[in-house]
Amino acid sequence: MKSNGAAPGILLDTSFLLPTLGISVSGATEEGIKILSETETELYYSRFSILESLWVATRTVNDSAFYDESLRPGLKSIIESGRYERVEEDSEIFSEAFTLYGLGHKDMIDNILYASAARLGLILLTLDDELRKFVLEKRLKDAFISVEELAVLTQGLRGARGNHSTELQMSRDK
């Protein structure tokens, strides 16, 4: 993993990859993408988010929310552009994801994303309040960032060059 020392890398939940693939999003997802586009924060994706994105694409292929001509170049952009780094899941990440399943969280893709972020020292940008609540109730590592927290983090990086990111990371490590 690359690191510029200014802020932890951000692992993107699937919803933040969808627009690159030609699938419309709105609200907080759109806002998060706008914030990310204005930063140099290291962005990571999981091959399992690509799989989940393809599932979404198959469900929306006949919907006006899907732009077929964007899928192929979008995949190429995510996988080959260099803007995104792919996380390399190992056996420990899959074991942790399975443990989360056993604890009661049944969305295995979300479990893999969370376990990847937690083990690799990344923060997971997600809108999934249910997953975050579950993890915190189980007293597991807070490896999440919301769009609102992302706005504060990036503003801090632009202003104080790292103070907010250090404070945010320290509060997550408690």
Report pLDDT digits (tens) over 14-33.
999 999 988 888 889 989 99
**Tens of pLDDT along 126-137?**
999 999 999 999
Lowest mean pLDDT among 4-13, 86-95, 101-110: 4-13
127 SS3 class: coil
Tokens of 126: 């997600």
Which superfamily does CATH assign the domain made up of 10-173 to?
Answer: 5'-nuclease (3.40.50.1010)
Residue/partner pairs of 80-85 with CB below 8 Å, 24 or more apart:
83/43, 84/12, 84/43, 84/44, 84/45, 85/1, 85/2, 85/9, 85/42, 85/43, 85/44, 85/45
Tell me: pLDDT of 10 over 80.
yes
Type of residue at 164: H
Q: What pLDDT digit, counting tens, does each position of 37-55 carry? A: 888 889 999 999 999 999 9
Task: Report the Cα 30 to chain-centroid distance in Å.
Answer: 14
pTM for this prediction: 0.83
For a pLDDT cut of 90, what percent of the chain falls above it? 60
Q: Spell out a b/e string for 103-127, using b for 16 or more CB atoms within 10 Å of the CB, else e.
A: eebebebbbbbbbbbbbbebbbbbb
Q: How confident is the model at residue 69 (pLDDT cuts 50, 70, 90)?
A: confident
